Structure 1
Amino acid sequence: MADLDPEDAKIVTLARSSRARTGAAEGAAVRDTDGRTYAAATVALPSLRLTALQAAIAAAVSSGAPGLEAAALVTDADSVDADSLAAVRDLNAGAPVFLADPRGEVQDTVR
């Protein structure tokens, strides 16, 4: 994370801690255009399923976030799933999504 801007490194750390705290498959965090951050983990209930990024975006939107600056996803997966990326793009077509492994090391930046 040495190459990341401190604010981007912050959302990667928040995503990693959300995943670790809950033991979920994924953790995510987003930063809105006002600089506020929202973190979440995968929601896997019988009646509700959200990816970690969808959950973090839902928290941001329900708090009145006007848009997103950036997002981070911590996962074992090799890519950001299409539904999660679509949710980010709904709020900002150009927001970077930092894809990090469970150690918090960014493997890719999806733009």
Structure 2
Amino acid sequence: MPDLDPEDEKIIILARSTRARTQAAEGAAVRDLDGRTYAAATVDLPSLRLTALQAAVAAAVSSGAEGLEAAAVVTEAAAVQEGSVQAVRDLAPGAPILRTDLSGAVQEIMR
């Protein structure tokens, strides 16, 4: 993978930290157009289920973000779930989505 922008490295670190802290299946982080970051983990409640990336996008939107520059998801999965991709694309059609393994090594960049 190519060298990452330091701001992209930051959201990967935030996503990894969130996942590790909560022991969730996934961790995610997004950066909005103002450079603010939002991190979240998988939500798996009886009445509410969100992927980590959906939760991070929801946090950004609920804080007034009008777009995203980039998103990162830390997962053991071989692909980012479609619902996660759609949540990012709803807010930012062209934002890169970085999929990393649990160590933070980038496995894929979706554009």
Alignment TM-score, normalising by the size of structure 2: 0.98
Deviations 1:39-65 (A, max 9, x none): 000000000000000000000000000
Report the equivalent of 1:59: 59
Residues 27-84 of structure 1 show CA distances to partners (whole Å, capped at 9, x for unaligned) of 0000000100000000000000000000000000000001000000000001111000
Matched, 1:94 2:94: yes
In structure 2, how many angstroms separate the alpha carbons of the residues matched to 1:37 and 1:2?
A: 22
**Residue segments in structure 1 that go unaligned for 5+ positions in a row:** none
**Residue in structure 2 matched with residue 34 of structure 1 by the alignment:** 34
Gaps of 5+ in 2: none
What is the aligned-residue RMSD (CA, Å)? 1.1
Alignment-derived partner of residue 19 in structure 2: 19
Number of the residue aligned with 1:44: 44
Matched residue of 2:53: which SS? helix
How many residues matched? 111
Partner of 1:73: 73
4+ residue stretches of structure 1 with deviation over 6 A? none
Q: What is the alpha-carbon distance in structure 2 between the residues aligned to residue 87 and residue 46 of structure 1? A: 21
Offset of residue 2 of structure 1: 7.7
TM-score (norm 1): 0.98
Identity level (%): 72
